[in-house]
Each structure stands twice: as C-alpha cells, then as structure tokens.
C-alpha cells in the first residue's frame, strides 16, 4: 500500500499537467466566435464559483449577486473613464466596495434573523435598488451607460487580441476553483457547511454563525466584483441593466444548481454544459430576445425536478451503485465458492 501513494501522486500530477496543456493550447487556432464562446464559458465557471462560496457552502442563498457584479463593473469603469485610474487597481477598489456592501447587507439581514427565502428576497431587493439608482443617476451616465474607450494597453486591461482575455479569466477560474477546493477541506469550510445544514445546532456547538456568514458574503462579494470588472473590460460597455439586472444573478446561480450546489466541481460542470447551450441558442435564434433565459429556465426546472443534487450528484449516485453492485457480485462469488467447498 505504501508503494501505491507515490504512484497515484505521479498519475495525478501527469493528469494535471495534461489538463494544463490542453487549457493553454485550446484557444490556439479558434476563430473569433468559438474563442468568444470559450471565454464566456470559463467566465461562467468563475462567477459560479463566486456564488458557490456564499450560497453553496455557507447556505446563504442569493438572488442578488448582480449587486456585487455591478458595483465592481461601475467602480472600475468610472475610475477609468473619469479619473484615468487603471482598471487593474479599479477592480480591487470595486472589490473592496462590493465586500463592504456585502457586509452591510449581511449584517442587516442576519441581525434581523432573515433566512432562506427572506434572505434571498433581501439580496434581490438590493440589486433592484441599485439598478434604479444607476438608471436615474446622471453621474454614472444613467440609462446611456458607460462606454470604455478602445485601446490596446495591457496596463489599462485592454488587449488587441481576445486570446489574452481568455488566459486572464482562465487564471481567475483556476485560482477560485483552487480556493473553493481548499475551503471545502478547511475548518472555515466545515463551519460554513455546519451552518448551512443546521445553524442552531452549529451555534450550540460554539460556531459563530453570524461571523462566518458575514465572511462568506464578503468574500463572495469581493470576488464577484472582480468578475464585473472583467466583463466591462472585455465588452467595453456597461449599463444599469447589464450590471444590476435580474438576469445577471440568474446567469450566475443557475450553473451551480445544474452542476451541484456546495461542491467543488459542480459549478465547473454546470457552466461547461449550460453556457455553450445558451450562447449557441442565442446565435441560432438572434431574432428571439431572451431565448437564452427561456433555455435557462427550462433546464433549471428539469434539474430541480429530476436532478436535485445536480450533475455531480448524478455521477456520484451512478458511481455508488456500480461499487455496490461490484461488491455484491464479489460476495455472491465468494458465497458460491464456499458452498462448492462445503459440497466437496
């Protein structure tokens, strides 16, 4: 058994190297459409993991992640267009602002014991409030939105070729997936899961639910805001609906529900399945506005009805049944062998 561990580690290392090579070489040779599809898919993985930290592990279901996304997008955009501050710094400032907003939302909600649907509706209300404010506030350009001047300076988070955006979002997605992986195995992650499963029992055992829920909300908000900055730099435009609209929150949370809430790889699988379907459908039916949201809704309904634990849950169940069947087969063979020996 001692000799198997190094062998397994070596195999895992080779698999990771092979996967890294595939991810690095994948965009080479792709035309603009498929490269854009690849970027949007990996971007979906990143945002899904952001939501997964707060709602999947800590159990604080959010319908208003557009709040944090929009704050990140608008903060970096305004600082860049009005002050000339590089978006690389603007995204960090936006992240801090979003984390502060998340802390305030969480503090008020948890202070008044809002849970479940009530907390989800509270997050939705904050996002809608910011959408209306941005829509009517001339300082942030109102309904006209903010147009980012085109350029090719990497110091301004602008590139002549979209492939650079792919490598940036790939790095962000890998880092946050690694973060979630570490979180799942950490004491902090165990506390969050305990709060998600039974908050009263967790508090009775000495877990500070209020503190750890605030940490989850603030961290998730900060990371989501970074994604907002990436969006506005990639598309060079943002407006109140694109930043704070309900569809933003739906797009963020749906891949997690499809893939598996509170798992490391659920958001990855959910985004890999859902984002290409949505983008391809939108391309096939350009005249049907909102067709991607209809697809999202239909898939979400099917997932809730038939895959309550997501794709990850389905895979785990199939794997479990195979192991059980294999063990039962082994036991049956041993029983038959024993019966033959007794007969002899």
pLDDT tens-digit readout, 22-52 = 888 989 888 999 999 999 999 999 999 999 9
Pick from 25, 16, 131, 3: nearest CA to 71: 131
CA 209 to chain centre: 23
What is the pLDDT at residue 295? 77
CA 287 to chain centre: 29
2: pLDDT strictly greater than 50? no
Highest mean pLDDT among 98-107, 110-119, 282-291, 306-315: 98-107
342: pLDDT strictly greater than 70? no
Between 317 and 85, the more confident residue is 85
Mean pLDDT in residue range 177-206 = 94
pLDDT band of 341, cuts 50, 70, 90: low
Contact 105, 217 (CB under 8 A): yes
Measured CA to CA, the distance from residue 134 to residue 70 in angstroms comes to 10
What is the pLDDT at residue 287? 66
Integer angstrom CA distances of residue 11 from 2, 263, 298: 15, 23, 40
Q: What is the pLDDT of residues 132-152, one digit of tens each?
A: 999 999 999 999 999 999 888
Integer angstrom CA distances of residue 298 from 137, 274, 277, 340: 36, 11, 12, 56
Pick from 79, 83, 123: nearest CA to 224: 123
Contact 231, 155 (CB under 8 A): no
Contact 225, 75 (CB under 8 A): yes
Highest mean pLDDT among 112-121, 224-233, 328-337: 224-233
Residue 146 DSSP SS3: strand
Sign (positive/negative) of CA torsion 173, 179, 182, 187? negative
Residue 139 DSSP label = G
Longest dimension (CA), the chain: 94
Contact 145, 244 (CB under 8 A): no
| H-run or E-run covering 237 | strand 237-238
Measured CA to CA, the distance from residue 332 to residue 92 in angstroms comes to 61
User: Structural domain boundaries of the chain?
Assistant: 31-245
Pick from 140, 151, 157, 125: nearest CA to 229: 157
Mean pLDDT in residue range 114-129 = 94
What is the pLDDT at residue 284? 75
What the block records as the tokens of 284 is: 């096939």
Contact 81, 232 (CB under 8 A): no
Between 343 and 204, the more confident residue is 204
| Predicted structure pTM score | 0.88
4: pLDDT strictly greater than 60? no
Q: What is the pLDDT of residues 162-176, one digit of tens each?
A: 999 999 999 999 999
Between 21 and 225, the more confident residue is 225
């Amino acid at each position: 058994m001692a000799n198997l561990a190094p062998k397994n580690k070596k195999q895992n290392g080779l698999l990771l190297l092979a996967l890294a090579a595939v991810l690095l070489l994948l965009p080479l040779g792709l035309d603009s459409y498929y490269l854009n599809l690849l970027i949007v898919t990996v971007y979906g993985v990143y945002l899904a993991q952001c939501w997964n930290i707060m709602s999947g592990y800590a159990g604080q279901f959010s319908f208003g992640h557009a709040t944090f996304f929009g704050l990140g997008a608008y903060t970096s955009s305004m600082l860049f267009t009005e002050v000339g501050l590089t978006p690389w710094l603007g995204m960090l400032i936006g992240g801090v602002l979003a984390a502060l907003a998340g802390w305030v939302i969480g503090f008020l909600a948890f202070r008044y014991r809002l849970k479940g649907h009530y907390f989800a509706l509270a997050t939705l209300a904050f996002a809608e409030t910011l959408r209306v404010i941005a829509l009517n506030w001339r300082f942030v350009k109102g309904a006209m939105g903010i147009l980012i001047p085109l350029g090719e300076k990497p110091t301004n988070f602008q590139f002549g070729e979209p492939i650079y955006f792919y490598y940036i979002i790939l790095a962000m997605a890998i880092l946050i997936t690694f973060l979630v992986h570490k979180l799942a195995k950490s004491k902090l992650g165990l506390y969050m899961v305990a709060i998600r499963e039974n908050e009263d029992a967790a508090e009775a055992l000495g877990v500070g639910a209020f503190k750890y829920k605030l940490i989850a909300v603030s961290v998730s908000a900060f990371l989501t805001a970074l994604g907002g900055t990436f969006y506005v730099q990639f598309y060079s435009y943002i407006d109140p609906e694109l930043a704070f609209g309900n569809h933003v929150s739906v797009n963020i949370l749906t891949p997690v529900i499809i893939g598996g809430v509170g798992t490391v790889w659920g958001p990855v699988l959910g985004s890999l399945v859902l984002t290409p379907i949505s983008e391809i459908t939108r391309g096939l039916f350009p005249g049907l506005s909102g067709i991607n949201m209809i697809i999202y809704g239909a898939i979400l309904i099917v997932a809730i009805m038939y895959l309550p634990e997501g794709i990850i849950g389905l895979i785990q169940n199939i794997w479990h049944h195979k192991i059980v069947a294999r063990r039962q087969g082994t036991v049956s063979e041993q029983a038959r062998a024993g019966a033959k020996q007794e007969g002899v």
